[in-house]
Amino acid sequence: MVYLDSWTHKWDSCAGDAIIKSMGGYFTNPFGTNINYNPDVGSTYNKQGMIVALDKKVHNRCLDVMGFF
């Protein structure tokens, strides 16, 4: 899944993040970095969007296609 909307809040994605990662999947921003759920970060928005996949190769391919690196 690639979701690039900047209008979701972190509480919209945190449960999905935990579920996907518990299944061995990958849930990151489009730069391949884990989403920081620390309340001290300042913003509650997922400003960059999310890339989610159960397979590492699929996740990496999505990152490559998005071209944010």
- For the stretch 50-66, pLDDT in tens is 999 999 999 999 999 98
Q: What is the CATH number of the domain that holds 60?
A: 3.40.190.80
**What's the pLDDT score for residue 21?**
97
Strands (E), 1-69: 2-3, 26-28, 50-53
Helices vs. strands in the chain: H and E counts, helices first: 2, 3
Tokens 């309340």 identify what position? Answer: 39
Q: How many domains does the chain have?
A: 1
Residue 50 belongs to domain spanning: 2-66
pLDDT tens per residue across span 33-53: 999 988 777 788 888 889 999
Largest CA distance in the chain: 33
